[in-house]
Amino acid sequence: MSVTPSTARRNVDYRLLLPAVTAWAVTSAVIGLEPNRHPPLFMAALVVAVSSCALLATKGPRRSIHRLTAAVLLTAAAAATTTALHTADLHRGPLPALARPPAPLTPPPPPTAPPPFTVPAPSTGPGQSDSEDERAAAGRPVGERPVNPEVTVQLTVTGDPKQRGPHPGGSPLSRPTLTVPALVTRVRLDPVPHSGSASDLTTRTRTPVTLLIRSQEDYPWRQLIPSTELELRAEVLPERPTASGGRSRTDSAALLVPQGPPRVTAPPSLPQRLAAHLREGLRDACDHLPPDSRGLLPGLVVGDVSRLPDDLADAFRATDLGHLVAVSGANLAIILAVLVGGTSSEPEAPVRGGLAGVLGLSFRTTALLGTVLTLAFVTVCRPDPSVLRAAATGLIGLLALATGRPRSGVPALAGAVLILILVDPQLARSYGFLLSALATAGLLVLGPRWTAALRARGWPRHLASAVGATAAAQAFCSPVTVLLAPRVSLVGVPCNLLAEIAVAPATLLGFGALAAAPLSKGTAEFLTDLAALPVGWLATVARHGAELPGAELAWPAGPFGAVLLVVVILSLAWAVPPLLAGHRSRSRRTRGLVALAVALLLPVVLLRPPSVVRLATGWPARGWRLAVCDIGQGDMTVLPVGPGSAVVVDAGPDPKAADDCLRGLGVTEIPLLLLTHFHADHAEGIPGVLRGRSVGAIEVTAAEEADGERSRVLRWAGAGGIPVVRAQRGERRTVGAELAWQVLWPTSPLAPEAEGANNSSIAILATVGPSAAPLRVALLGDLEPPAQAAVLALGLPPPAPPAPPPAVQGVPTVPTAPTVRAAPPATTNRTSARGSADGVSVAGSGADGAGRSVLAGSAGSAAPSGPGPPGVGRVDVLKVAHHGSAGQDWSLTAALRPRLALISCGEGNPYGHPAARTVAGLRALGAMVVRTDRSGDIAVLGDARTLAVATHPRPARG
């Protein structure tokens, strides 16, 4: 019998939905309030509660409306009261006071900027690790060392240690950090000096905090198990207020930096020890698997993503499969379905299927076993927001089963959300909890209707159910994911459909290995071998889906983007059914034309051939000589060699952004990837550079600093079989007929000025373009004033016969001068304007037919003359050092006297890059300043006689 949409329409109880939404909204608004607003809040909650009681006492024809209104008011009052009570510990006690010192009565005088051509004093002395920009980002004055209070605390670990990625700013902050949530139960303060009192200032408290471990010796901290009690000495970091003056954190009262290793005063509880033993057993059983399966299976089963490859995690996010990377409510639903059974044909009737039905267990026994299984699942997999939502929903369903009442999905979901918000108000601001609730709501509300509509049009039952459920979940969740990252995945629905067939087998086999590991490691390894097949399928779907050029569509950021996406989804939901409906020939022709259009346009949208993209966007500009990619707060420069071939200098902080930029430029072959230094904002994008491209070699600095990032670079190179070589001053390379460069810095052995990773950056002077009038380009990495001054003093290195640079330990060398085919002559598509002979003087600007912003200018001779030692001379283009920070040696800049200054930095970065005085100084020298944070991708066109710039704006990234 065919299924019609009417069969999906049944009476759904929405009465609990409004109170649940009310509690969520009130909690989210109240959770950030200061303590001085709590008394008026309690009084308002009391008035609302009394008013709701009065509504309950009224009688009349609108009694049902009065009851609903009273329920909403009571829920709002309860949510406000419980939120204020739960967050009280965030504000009382010594730790919040130490983290939020009182503001000074008089603001400090504003700093005066030095003249643009003076050499500023070094921002750090010997032995200091903070740079000027890092201190500014940390919210303390430049030149002032932090003086933070230290306390001795006793605390209980409340969650698993979590790895945080390297900071893009470099220096000490670039090392990965570890965060550990904890509850402080006792605080001992140091006695005040010269107070004459040596009493023990100990305070009992219950203050939630976050431990921040910056040291590389973090192995003892990684082994901590929730419920472990510790005593330690810690530094209290000051809290940085938000732009609105509120608190930057609502889940912890302070950030504590431990001084020394942890000292355990009490071991974890028995359930937590058993859970940790099971998790460790699963990890051990996965050790022999390939890297993707080894990292993905523990994440899919118990939420352990510590070994998940970074590029695979990015692929799962790009394909909207991120809910599979870590354990989610779907895992619990699969486990309960094995015990209780799936949805029956009569959803409103109590059912007992699965193992319970086979064994003939009663409703109450089945509900009891399901409750035990749910609690064990939460303990082993950790109470993440999605897990809590699924557990609460499942327990409500089990309660209905035990009492013989009908099960209904929407009331169970609303009741679970209401209870959890009242018990744990922090969930109100959790994106994970919101996405889990929305996905479940989509499955319950829209899923059955869309499935029935597809069945009515002849779709197979299983395919219609899968497409309807997946599309409904995506429709509900997409507006929220846009707030997290301004992009829409065009492959999310098909990738989820392809992944669905492997999720249940991988989950069940993984849990089987988890349970078998303590009893027999061989059995556990056998089960993980079986699970590796569906897990490998999941990884394959994610990787191939993310590699499609059109996998993601850029979307406006912020609330506007979310509202716009809601409008688009509603429009599609209204427009698509009429195209699918009807039985007349005209409708069949319409459906045929739509299917043909989709078949022709979809490959173009997903594959995005460079020739088609250039016709649509005008990017890349024809005849480009150099490109600076807009990859956020970092550096990435591309020097073309020939069709599809280019030398890349640095890779930026984001693999996805690096891959997108090279894909847009049509680069598929990279003779050399030059990495100026080992900082995250220059190196973390390497996996994106390597994705689908042949790389001849990676050249790195000789400095041994930033060991963590250096190890990651060598690991990526080793995995791709790419040789790694070290650069040295005087090295000269030529690639093709129109690209050559020489290394200006660093010296070998490293000079005293090269202290710190920034000062060990590789600096090169390149010539690009035709030999008749080549462009001279200086790329200075992140050099700071001491190293910049040394570059000026040394001048150009003397000519030397080419010799292979020394190889990094254990890695072979490559020839000094790799050669590829010469690029054919290219024409420039730009507008031009006359300028003075002393630099670029923009006399006009405009846009080409593709809508690019085009800046153009011309100049006289670019001969290497001017101030400074012989041989340094002037350059046409300067990639400004260190993202345009205030730390510039203006003697070097004046010697280079660039006509065009390019600054690569991220929009709204916390370091204030570029510094206003740096931009002003460059313009005073006659340089045109172009920035990636305002212009997007930058392409340099022309030659030394005529210089032009084409820009390609990119949407904001989340």
Q: Select from 650, 647, 665 the least CA-distant residue to 767.
A: 647
Q: CB-based burial of residue 236 (10 Å sphere; 0-12 exposed, 13-18 middle, 19+ buried)?
A: buried
CA distance 427 to 414: 14
Predicted local distance difference test score (pLDDT) of residue 863: 38
Q: Name the most confidently modeled range: 95-104, 354-363, 395-404.
A: 395-404
pLDDT digit string (tens) for 27-37?
999 988 888 88
Q: Residue 583: pLDDT above 50?
A: no
pLDDT digit string (tens) for 220-235?
888 899 999 999 999 9
Span 136-141, mean pLDDT?
43
Span 191-214, mean pLDDT?
74
CA distance 369 to 352: 12
3-class SS shares of the chain: helix, strand, coil, % to 5: 45, 15, 40
Considering only residues 554 and 212, tell me which one the structure prediction assigns the higher pLDDT: 212
Span 672-692, mean pLDDT?
91
Q: Are 656 and 633 in contact (CB under 8 A)?
A: no
Q: Please tell me the least confidently modeled range out of 417-426, 529-538, 550-559, 741-750.
A: 550-559
Strands 637-642, 624-628: parallel, antiparallel or unpaired by DSSP? Answer: antiparallel
Predicted local distance difference test score (pLDDT) of residue 812: 38
Collect all residues with Cβ–Cβ distance below 8 Å to 828 and sequence separation of at least 6. Answer: 621, 622, 623, 941, 942, 946, 948
What distance separates the 2 farthest-apart alpha carbons in the chain?
100
Place of tokens 């609903």: 68
Q: Residue 178: pLDDT above 90?
A: no
Span 541-553, mean pLDDT?
84
At residue 610, the 3 state secondary structure works out as helix
Q: Residue 155: pLDDT above 70?
A: yes
Q: Residue 824: pLDDT above 50?
A: no
What is the band of 696 on the pLDDT scale with cuts at 50, 70, 90?
Answer: very high
Predicted local distance difference test score (pLDDT) of residue 275: 93
Span 337-354, mean pLDDT?
57
Span 313-327, mean pLDDT?
84
Q: What is the pTM of this model?
A: 0.74
The kind and range of the H/E element at 355 are helix 354-359
Predicted local distance difference test score (pLDDT) of residue 394: 87
Distance (Å) of CA 583 to CA 7, 464, 468, 591? 20, 20, 22, 10
Place of tokens 């340099």: 940
Considering only residues 353 and 117, tell me which one the structure prediction assigns the higher pLDDT: 353
Which tokens in the block code for residue 727? Answer: 């650069």
What is the band of 332 on the pLDDT scale with cuts at 50, 70, 90?
Answer: confident
- Per DSSP (E only), the strands in 315-398 are none
Predicted local distance difference test score (pLDDT) of residue 215: 61
Q: Residue 627: pLDDT above 90?
A: yes
If one counts every other C-beta atom within 10 angstroms of the C-beta of residue 272, the result is: 17
What is the band of 692 on the pLDDT scale with cuts at 50, 70, 90?
Answer: confident
pLDDT digit string (tens) for 44-87?
889 888 888 888 777 766 777 888 888 889 999 999 999 999 88
Span 923-938, mean pLDDT?
92
Place of tokens 């709204």: 908
Mean pLDDT taken over the chain = 78
pLDDT digit string (tens) for 738-777?
899 999 988 877 777 777 888 889 999 999 988 888 899 9
Predicted local distance difference test score (pLDDT) of residue 114: 42
Q: Please tell me the least confidently modeled range out of 276-290, 409-423, 560-574, 673-687.
A: 560-574
CA distance 300 to 293: 10
CA distance 66 to 542: 51
Predicted local distance difference test score (pLDDT) of residue 485: 83
Q: Residue 118: pLDDT above 70?
A: no
Predicted local distance difference test score (pLDDT) of residue 248: 59
Which backbone phi and psi does 392 adopt, to 5 degrees? -65, -40
